[in-house]
Amino acid sequence: MNRRTFLGVASAAMLAEGFGPAASFATVNPAALKPMALGLLISPYGAPDATIRRVHDLGFSNCFLSLDGYINGFTPELAAQFKDLLAKYDVVATTVEVVGPGPLEWNFMRGPSTIGLIPPATRAARMDALRQVSDFAKLVGIGQVQTHCGFIPEDPADPLYPGAVEAIRAVAQHCHGNGQYFLMETGQETPTTMSRMIRDVAMPNLAVGLDTANLILYGKANPVDAVDILGPHIRSIHAKDGRWPTNPSELGEEVQIGKGLVDFRAVFTKLHHFGYTGAVTIERETSGPQQIEDVRQEKIYLERILGEVLA
């Protein structure tokens, strides 16, 4: 399974068995969610009813939709299906994401040439996929589109940098036309590099999706410090834990929340001070029954911390 293919197939099997600088933009049903409400990242391709039902059954009010399986199939009929399922199970979808089409290699050796909008060979296809998912999200009523932009060059004089700026601006403009934020997910770049990209793209709806573990997995930053740099721009959070990379060819290890190096109390405290009120989305990159059990334990762990931070 790839890094986003989870809580879909596993859900179906188990069921069978038994505020940033552009605050004028609307988010989805903001009154329907409590500040920093816990949600779940899901990949519903192949089993949308079972997967969205699983979100409800696990006690979450909201979800983050990873939709690569639907690229080139974002029809009005699919949008209507998702809208009905979300209403049926009383779940709010906060954000949609696509990272494909491929090839994609989540490592240090081939990652820079295969991930995101930076590699010229796949840039046009991925821009098209992001436009498609933006239009789909508008039909469903979802106000945020997210992706990994890739290994953004730290050197603004790098030949790849101007094209990356224009590509990100073009996608942000499309999302702007749909009344949506376009979020860059943290991971492959330093927080300062992402901050520079926000400045250079200069679109009011360009913001950040903070993945607490990715910054560690890619060896780029401590997430607590990253909030100091990116805090005013953060509009979504993937709550995930991990450890620093020790093999220079491979990313660090993603682990169950509470068993890695992320200081969630410090991250949430800083975000709360910045006025963040969006969702906190659990992402666990495993599969099967153990994944479901991990998510249950992570939910309990984070509920305790968030209760203390927001008290």
C-alpha 48/C-alpha 158 separation (Å) is 42
User: Mean pLDDT across the stretch 132-150?
Assistant: 98
User: Mean pLDDT across the stretch 185-206?
Assistant: 98
The string of pLDDT tens digits covering residues 253-304 is 999 999 999 999 999 999 999 999 999 999 999 888 999 999 999 999 999 9
2 pLDDT higher than 90: no
Place of tokens 């079972």: 50
The string of DSSP letters for 99-154 reads --SS----STTTHHHHSTTSSHHHHHHHHHHHHHHHHHHHHHT--EEEE------S
What pLDDT score does 7 carry?
60
| pTM of this structure | 0.92
C-alpha 136/C-alpha 95 separation (Å) is 11
Query: Yes or no: is domain 9-310 CATH 3.20.20.150?
Result: yes
* Domain chopping of the chain, boundaries: 9-310
The string of pLDDT tens digits covering residues 63-72 is 999 999 999 9
Spell out the residues 6+ positions from residue 224 whose beta carbon is closer than 8 angstroms to its own. Answer: 263, 266, 267, 270
C-alpha 81/C-alpha 72 separation (Å) is 16
User: Mean pLDDT across the stretch 47-60?
Assistant: 98
Q: What is the Cβ-side half-sphere exposure of residue 231, based on CA atoms within 13 angstroms?
A: 16
273 burial (CB, 10 Å; 0-12 / 13-18 / 19+) is exposed
10 pLDDT higher than 70: no
Instruction: Report which residue type is found at 246.
Output: T
The string of pLDDT tens digits covering residues 101-126 is 999 999 999 999 999 999 999 999 99
State phi, psi for 10 to the nearest 5 degrees. -60, -40
What pLDDT score does 288 carry?
86
**Bridge partners, 64 (sequence order):** 41, 95
